[in-house]
Amino acid sequence: MTIRPILIHPDPRLKKVTAPVASIDDDLRRLADDMLETMYEAPGIGLAAPQVAVMRRVIVMDCQKDAEATPEPMVLINPEIIWSSEATSVYDEGCLSIPEQYAEVTRPAEVEVAWLGLDGKPQRARFDGLWATCVQHEIDHLDGKLFIDCLGPLKRQMITRKMQKLKREMARG
Ligand SMILES: [Zn+2]
């Protein structure tokens, strides 16, 4: 397993709609392993393939935040939201591609998602709580959407300027 570099906003690859996975092969299994490793190392609770510059519809998540509990890694291939609750919830979201910036985002409190597992079998589940927020945030990445796109233009520009500054600093080393 390899830790892959995470793209930092603004980056044109984070704004693109990604392509569905056509076949689950060794490359894809390696990508899923690397994404989980990269997410745990960050640390984060979710990661989408475009964040590691792979323009395919793959996300990984583990919202089990209790350090004592058994990890619950999930790999979702071609995930699709097939139902959303009318009830909403607000969560102070962050993103590994927008480090150290957080903002409240309102989303449906519960969603039902269909996807393919690594074994190629169709799966379906309902998510609530932090899992619901996370799965919606990650699926947005597959459509080139970031959580700051849910905010007003001023807040979004402020965060984007901070990220441009951070990237200049990183480039200087
Ligand atoms: Zn994110």
20-72 pLDDT per residue, tens: 999 999 999 999 999 999 999 999 999 999 999 999 999 999 999 777 889 99
How far, in Å, CA of 66 to CA of 18, rounded?
Answer: 32
141 is in an annotated binding site: yes
CATH class of domain segment(s) 12-172: alpha beta
* Active site annotation includes 138: yes
Helices assigned H by DSSP within the chain: 26-41, 129-142, 153-172
Distance 148 CA to ligand 1 centre (A): 10
At residue 122, φ and ψ (nearest 5 deg) are -65, 140
pLDDT at 56: 98
Which of 37, 100, 138, 169 does the annotation list as catalytic? 138
Query: For residue 1, is pLDDT > 80?
Result: yes
Distance 173 CA to ligand 1 centre (A): 24
Distance 92 CA to ligand 1 centre (A): 12
> Whole-prediction pTM value?
0.96
Check: CB of residue 57 under 8 Å from CB of residue 48: no
pLDDT at 160: 97
How far, in Å, CA of 83 to CA of 160, rounded?
Answer: 32
Using DSSP's 3-state secondary structure scheme, residue 89 falls into strand
Distance 27 CA to ligand 1 centre (A): 23
Q: pLDDT tens, 113-170?
A: 999 999 999 999 999 999 999 999 999 999 999 999 999 999 999 999 999 999 999 9
**Beta strands 88-95 and 74-84, pairing class:** unpaired
Distance 122 CA to ligand 1 centre (A): 24
Q: pLDDT tens, 89-106?
A: 999 999 999 999 999 999
Closest by CA to 128, choosing from 66, 94, 83, 76, is 83
Burial 13-42 (b: 16+ CB within 10 A, else e): ebeeebeebeebeeebeebbbbbbbbbbee
Query: Where exactly are the structural domains of the chain?
Result: 12-172
